[in-house]
Structure 1
Amino acid sequence: MSDHLTVVDHPLVQHKLTLMRRCETSTSEFRQLLREISLLLAYEVTRDLPLTSRQIETPMCAMDAPVLEGKKLALVSILRAGNGLLDGILELIPSARVGFVGLYRDEETLEPVQYYNKLPSQIGDRACIVVDPMLATGNSSAAAIDLVKQAGGRDIRFLCLLAAPEGVARMREAHPDVPIVTASLDDRLNEKGYIVPGLGDAGDRMFGTK
């Protein structure tokens, strides 16, 4: 694995991802699996958060104990499918600040079109995790991270369920300082810009809109 890309090969992650890929998996099952897998991925994407120590009292004695350093985390969801990962991560980190970037992909040009942007304050002082289940062309993800950087974000990482080599290359070109954590690096994109073998459209499968 490169410093830029981490593929989480934990057996539970890989098993749940296989269940999500299957055509016969229902909308409710898909949502539940996405929530479960996002918890597991969140452990990996937060592995290197800085720690400091604080004196506490246990029932036995006083001790210097590790706690997270700095301001609370910021999570940024790329609408709408990013919300599926967001919900699970918030179970693990309920105090995190949350922002949203609304982008849709023009089906002819495959370029992102922005329609919403609301980010937490003081984002430059927070570690920021940008979430979207699919890193396909990489255009939407790169555009979302552009917005986070324009708002002052510096410590940024990107979390996705699936990545295509084309999307990883696009992100490496646009944001070489932003590490990517994913459950799978799939084979390729098809002519419509969908990940193959993939799992279809994550938003449609999550919300039952297809």
Structure 2
Amino acid sequence: MQIHHIGAQASLLNRFIAEARDIKIQSDRMRFRTNIQRIAHILGYELSKALSYRNTTVTTPLGEKEIPLIQNKVVICSILRAGIAFHNGLLDYFDGAENAFVSAYRHHTGHGDDFEILVEYLSSPSLQGKTLLLADPMLATGRSFMAAYDALKKMGTPSEIHLLAVVGSTPGIAAVEAYFPEDSHLWIAAMDDRLNEKGYIIPGLGDAGDLAYGPKLQH
């Protein structure tokens, strides 16, 4: 897997990451969602440089101009519910993309902090020969990405796989790197070193789903 750590170079992206992490700012749900969308815009733009292009003739009022345009058939798949704002940001840029959604959530087994990832919903077009953008704001253990990918396998084999995340942990990144095909890509805004005993990213930013849409009742 090729890892693209976009936040490693100082840029405007850092402001959006900082605001998404900051407990004094992130409590404003609309602003949090907006920052997640802004981060998706930047990751999507950087990802677009790795896609395939073909010159296309565009007619202007005064003549014609050849412009290289993306040829990939893109499918954006987000992991519900935290991925909705992230999905919308990617869709702002890949507005002609097809869309897929998968629910992948932590189900605690009752044995301390142990949990399993359950997938109970999948809506997807065929992925055969297409470019899959698999998006989830938080890459903690990596198990949600893996479960979503396993669920999508019955929809066909993509020609390319691109994972996108806002914040990821070093252990989680290593896990998906080992699990996904070697020619996959990960586009990530920020990387943190560790997980706590509950499998949450430290320092991370908290629960992205709760911050975007409000607290939820646990199963």
TM-score (norm 2): 0.88
Q: Which residue number corresponds to residue 99 of structure 2?
A: 98
Which residue number in structure 2 is paired with residue 8 of structure 1? 6
Matched position secondary structure for 1:198: coil
Give the TM-score normalised by the residue count of structure 1: 0.91
Match of 2:183 in 1: 177
Amino acid at match of 1:11: S
CA contact (8 A) 1:77 1:131 kept: yes
The CA deviation at 1:148 is 2.5
- Corresponding residue for 2:51? 49
**Runs of 5+ consecutive residues of structure 2 not aligned to the other structure:** none
Rounded Cα–Cα distance in structure 1 between residues aligned with 2:211 and 2:150? 28
Aligned to 2:166: 161
**Pairwise CA distance, 1:120:** 1.4
Q: CA deviation at 1:145?
A: 1.6
Matched-pair contact (CA < 8 Å) for 1:100–1:119: yes
Q: Which stretches of structure 1, 4 residues or longer, exceed 6 Å deviation after superposition?
A: none
Identify the residue that residue 85 of structure 1 maps to in structure 2: 86
Number of residue pairs matched by the alignment: 206
Q: For structure 1, which segment, 185-194 or 37-46, has the greater mean C-alpha deviation from structure 2 after superposition?
A: 37-46
Contact 2:43–2:188 under 8 Å retained in 1: yes
Q: Deviations over 1:16-46 (max 9, x none)?
A: 1011101122222111111122111111122
Q: CA RMSD in A?
A: 1.6
Equivalent residues of 1:111, 1:140 under 8 A apart: no
- Give the deviation of 1:70 after TM superposition: 4.3
Aligned: 1:151 with 2:152? no
The letter for the 1-side match of 2:167 is: L
Distance 1:134 1:110 in 2: 16
For residues 70 and 207 of structure 1, the distance between their equivalents in structure 2, rounded to whole angstroms, comes to: 32
Displacement of 1:149: 3.0
Question: Which of 196, 209, 212 does residue 190 from structure 1 map onto?
Answer: 196
For 1:141 and 1:28, locate their aligned partners in 2 and report how far apart those are by CA, in whole Å.
Answer: 26
Spell out, residue by residue over 1:93-125, the C-alpha distance to the aligned partner (whole angstroms, 9 max, x if none): 22211100111112343321111011113x123
Q: Distance in 1 between matches of 2:55 and 2:30?
A: 41
